[in-house]
Amino acid sequence: MRLKFLLRPGWLALTLAVWVFAGACFALLAPWQFRRDADREAQNNAVVQSMRTDPVPVAEVLDRPGAEVEWRRVELTGRYLPEAQAVARLRTVQGEAAFEVLTPFALVDGPTVLVDRGYVRPVDGIRVPDVPAPPTGEVTVVALTRSSESDNRDAFDQDGHRQVYAINPAVVSRATGVELRPGYFQLVEGQPGVTAALPLPKLDAGPFFSYALQWIAFGVMALGGWVYFSWREVQPGGALAGERPERGPRPRRKSVAEMLAEDEAPAGPSASASTTRA
């Protein structure tokens, strides 16, 4: 029966590999890229909308989910708490190493929030420089609403600076004892206390949609190849079909040694007779 090859271990392993790969393309990899494309589109829309609207009082976003108000421009009035300041390490701004300056900000008649005052460049490539002190007293600043980062590793002190691995108010709270609400606020250019304002994200669509289509194409190609080679094996003379009814067993290929031996062997009786007559 020609379909017996489907039960051979090698073919079963190949079939499993092909279908697992195709399933991963369709169910995991392509949807992952589609989600990244949707996230990038949502971010671009939020940034554009933020730049086109006036800042709103911070009280309007404090009780709303972070994703819903991400990149919203808000106005905060209060005072900086420099004694609870920290810097976020291992950052990259415009392709170069940087530290981001995080300073708690006590709102007037409100909670204390974490403000990202911008970035400073490291000294000698690794050390935190002297960070400009924020203004004292009550100030009003405009900032962008941002969601907390997920890294929860504890802060540590080095070279006289409190350092954290991510912009996470919970980590700063544990290190300083200052209660901070989730999320943080990123200062825009020209605000009191800003060091060097962080640039806005690029408003390009990114390659994610095309990557998703590529993963779908890879899955289709894998299944198509499996179907094609399965069809070939069913036909007479398939590589795994064994006996070929029309032509008999497939001839064994000669080795190089066998072919050399044939070339060196006498040509036959006629050749021997010619040699004798000579």
pLDDT in tens, the chain (278 residues): 566 767 778 888 888 999 999 999 999 999 999 998 888 888 777 777 777 788 899 998 888 767 778 899 999 999 999 999 999 999 999 999 999 999 999 999 889 999 999 999 999 878 999 999 999 999 999 999 999 999 999 999 998 899 999 999 999 999 999 999 999 999 999 999 999 999 987 777 788 899 999 999 999 999 999 898 888 877 766 555 544 445 555 566 666 566 667 766 665 555 545 444 54
**Is 235 buried (19+), middle (13-18) or exposed (0-12) by CB count in 10 A?**
exposed
Query: End of a domain among 187, 216, 237?
Result: 187
Query: Do 120 and 129 meet the contact criterion of CB atoms below 8 Å apart?
Result: yes
Query: Both 62 and 182 in a single domain?
Result: yes
Query: Both 99 and 179 in a single domain?
Result: yes
User: For position 39, what pLDDT does the model report?
Assistant: 83
List Cα–Cα distances, 252 to 135, 258, 261, in angstroms: 88, 12, 17
Query: Both 175 and 249 in a single domain?
Result: no
Query: End of a domain among 152, 187, 222?
Result: 187
Domain annotation covers residue 235: yes
Query: Both 155 and 228 in a single domain?
Result: no
Provide the 10 A C-beta neighbour count for residue 170: 12
Enumerate the β-bridge partners of residue 161.
158
Query: Both 12 and 62 in a single domain?
Result: no
Query: Both 148 and 240 in a single domain?
Result: no
User: For position 231, what pLDDT does the model report?
Assistant: 82
Query: Both 155 and 253 in a single domain?
Result: no
User: Which residue in 67, 75, 61 sits closest to 46, CA to CA?
Assistant: 67
Chain center to CA of 254: 52
Domain annotation covers residue 98: yes
List Cα–Cα distances, 50 to 43, 46, 72, 256, 267, in angstroms: 10, 6, 5, 75, 92
Domain annotation covers residue 145: yes
Domain annotation covers residue 120: yes
| Tokens standing for residue 219 | 């899955």
Query: Both 168 and 59 in a single domain?
Result: yes
Query: Both 216 and 174 in a single domain?
Result: no
Domain annotation covers residue 263: yes
Query: Both 134 and 231 in a single domain?
Result: no
Domain annotation covers residue 99: yes
User: Which residue in 114, 96, 94, 97 sits closest to 106, CA to CA?
Assistant: 114
User: For position 44, what pLDDT does the model report?
Assistant: 79
User: For position 251, what pLDDT does the model report?
Assistant: 61
User: For position 126, what pLDDT does the model report?
Assistant: 86
What is the dihedral sign for C-alpha 235, 238, 240, 244? positive
Query: Both 180 and 65 in a single domain?
Result: yes
Domain annotation covers residue 109: yes
Domain annotation covers residue 41: no
Residues 255, 172: Cα–Cα separation, whole Å: 73
User: Which residue in 172, 152, 151 sits closest to 162, CA to CA?
Assistant: 172
Query: Both 164 and 63 in a single domain?
Result: yes
Q: Residue 174: which domain range?
A: 54-187
Q: How many domains are contained in the chain?
A: 2
Global confidence as pTM: 0.67
User: For position 256, what pLDDT does the model report?
Assistant: 57
